[in-house]
Amino acid sequence: MSRHAIESLGLALLHRVDPERAHGLSLSALRAGVVPLPGQVTSDRLRTRIAGLSLPNPLGLAAGYDKNAVALAPLARSGFGFLEVGAATPRPQPGNPKPRLFRLSEDRAVINRFGFNNDGAEAIAARLAKRPEGAVIGLNLGANKDSSDRAEDFRKVLSTCGAHLDFATVNVSSPNTEKLRDLQGKAALSALLRGVLETRDGLARRVPVFLKIAPDLDEAGLADIAEVALELGLDAVIATNTTLDRAGLASAHRDQGGGLSGAPLFDKSTRVLARLSRLTGGQVPLIGVGGVSNAEQAYAKIRAGASAVQLYSALVYEGLSLVPRILSGLEECLQRDGFATVAEAVGTGREDWL
């Protein structure tokens, strides 16, 4: 049976079961070695650098798929240029009540309200300590739902896991932990990030610190993010997390609570990315995420200002074969438009999104 046939059969079977169970089964299939994987995908045109990290290609796996770092080895062979696992919190927590994951097949979208369900920083650190060599792996940092000091939680996770990371992402943009997005306010965000950077500076090895923002920020809120990022010298900003917007959805699940990801998020997240690129004047590297499901969309994120791109929800509908397909198509886009490297294309189409 061909790779395509195996993947098509696997996706069809997964879509017959509850979405959260399908999520777990897909991780189990990866770990069992039954998922066809392409290995590393790279070329002179695709190789890129961001925040001091050398990437074989600019396409990364977004946080949320491998929450507990249980499938690092197979994911490192899946074609991605970098992986982001988590979110991790200091203490294990079960997350929100089930059901909490919904496929919106008509919209090629997903709604989740997991609420940072994970095994806790110590268990995740132990798995990261056995990470595959050569892969670029980061961790999404979160806070416990019942924490009395959420800013301190981010520091604790970084302190626990930092020795095994290539980058760490401060996630104050998930809509599924009550009042977490309040930390995106200028004063609270600045204080939180200063604490995280202080913890980072105490690690044996410098770890780039990224910030992941929401797509629902207004112009003033986005300007505050840009000002803080520039003032503190953040290594990168990831734009964006999931949205609370439900405009234009057709699925019966459209009114479920939680964060919406997938195809409907593409335009909104790309506009935020372009605005942030303009506000930071290209001085802060950006990672574009939200609704990417083909090469032209990945290329659009790069031209809007992203030095690298992430995806996750599209894998629900396309499978991991999407990764090499996007990268092959991205190489063709760059070659077509005369760009010898990804870096040459960054921001060249920003004005189209403003």
Q: Find the catalytic residue in 174, 251, 269, 313.
A: 174
Three-class SS state of 172: coil
Question: Are 116 and 175 within 8 A, CB to CB?
Answer: no
88: closest CA among 142, 134, 10? 142
Residue 261: count of CB within 10 angstroms of its CB: 28
Q: Where are the alpha helices (DSSP H) in the chain?
A: 3-14, 19-32, 72-76, 121-128, 150-161, 186-201, 219-232, 266-280, 295-304, 314-318, 322-336, 342-345
Identify whether 251 is a catalytic site residue: no
Question: Are 109 and 95 within 8 A, CB to CB?
Answer: no
CA 314 to chain centre: 12
In the numeric block, the tokens 């961790």 are attached to: 139
Q: What is the dihedral of CA 133, 65, 62, 8, to 10 degrees?
A: 90
- Cβ within 8 Å of residue 135, ≥6 positions away: 72, 76, 82, 83
Bond prior to 38 in cis (omega within 30° of 0):
no
User: Hey, which residues are catalytic here?
Assistant: 174
